[in-house]
Amino acid sequence: MTVEQNPRRAGVLLIICLALFVISATYVYGELSAKKDEAYEGLKLFSDVIAEIEKNYVEPVDTKELIQKAIEGMVQSLDPHSSFLPPEAYGDLQVETKGEFGGIGIVISKRDNFLTVVAPIEGTPAYKAGIQAQDIITRINGESTKDMQLWEAVKQMRGEPGTKVEISIYRQDMKDTLDFTLVRAVIPLDSVRSLTLKPGYGYLWVTNFRENTTEEVSKALKQMEAGDVPLKGLILDLRDNPGGLLDQAIKVADIFLDSGTIVSIRGRDDAQLEQYTARPEKMVNQYPMVLLINGGSASASEIVAGALQDNHRALVLGTTSFGKGSVQTVRPLRDGFALKYTIARYYTPSGRSIQAEGIVPDLVVKRRVLDEEASDGLDGGLVKEEDLKNHLMPFKDDELSEELEEKKDKDKEQDKAPEAEQLMRLRDSLYEHGGSDPSMLLRDSQINRAYEILKGYEIFQGLTRN
């Protein structure tokens, strides 16, 4: 017997379906209505507080400024990378990856509520002065950075080239703060350096990801591959690379991959999923690679490292990266304001979240300065492992000392060493195009170890063929 044959039964089924629909709609509407009521009640409370302060606070208040500060606090409570931007900060944000601007050349973030250097940009005033990844900025031009917004700190450090800015730095292994007077300069937009370490072994250094990075990487590879000796191995150096443009990170990873996922971006639900994969219709060089990372490698550089590691294209060497694996968007608002907030997380091809975890290297190697003899041969460069955990010495800063004393119990072992500044200088000659010196680079223990691995791989290949 069909439904058509029994109109009464069909009518009963229709009534049941309608009832279920009404119940479901009522439940959904009830949930939405409850949320609206909750938001409305919260806004009424906010309005009551504003009115009370306007009427009875001991001094007159600027209501517009008060509301702006309230919004800043609300957005800042979400995560360190979300912020409410006034018009001047929104304008500054738009020139970070386009055009030239004056500054000292550091990328900063909030970590454990401290204004922290992610990495200095190579060749800039901050880099040349010896500022390092993980340094905490305690003062800018004498003003404490406690409770300072990221955009406020950026605004104070940027300025006309040739002008000065004073900053105070807290460093884990130092007794007192370090004070720097830096002269602002035009921040360079080129991001790639390269040379041949030894015949057949290339070194490619990417300092950040800007609009033309992929083009620069391709050009550098072609130059090395066109040498007298075919390229038999490549070291890709992403240490102290604070990141940059997502599309450039994807394109750089794609240069070395012929298949597989590069990165996935996931939002609140599965509908907000984007996945980027390597393009198969191109030539990909198959020489072995070692990729270098450290605590200053963040965001876009972590995407490249994760992609090449999970696709078994490169051995990752160094120390754990920064762990900035979230995606931000900027929405313009009325009156020139903007909202920068987190909308998703990055995931490596194997499904690992980069956020707060970072990329863990396949081979952990701390940075050291090797003596010149050790850097010349394959049997040199064996670095003695030491306990690098530093006990913080008394630190004095009226605004931040108490918080930093609490922080010492949370500090993890970092790739710091007394020679840290000296290590940074090993790449200086490479930054100046005219005076690159491979032997200087091989004094860096991580570069030396990477070269040894590539050379050893070539030797073992020869053994297996014979």
Instruction: Point out the catalytic residue in the list 82, 83, 299, 321.
Output: 299
Instruction: Point out the catalytic residue in the list 128, 251, 324, 366.
Output: 324
- Can 324 be counted among the known catalytic residues? yes
- Can 310 be counted among the known catalytic residues? yes
Instruction: Point out the catalytic residue in the list 240, 310, 397, 415.
Output: 310
- Can 340 be counted among the known catalytic residues? no
Distance between CA atoms of residues 200 and 229, nearest Å: 5
Residues 296 and 240 sit within 8 Å (Cβ to Cβ) = yes
Q: Which residues are catalytic?
A: 299, 310, 324
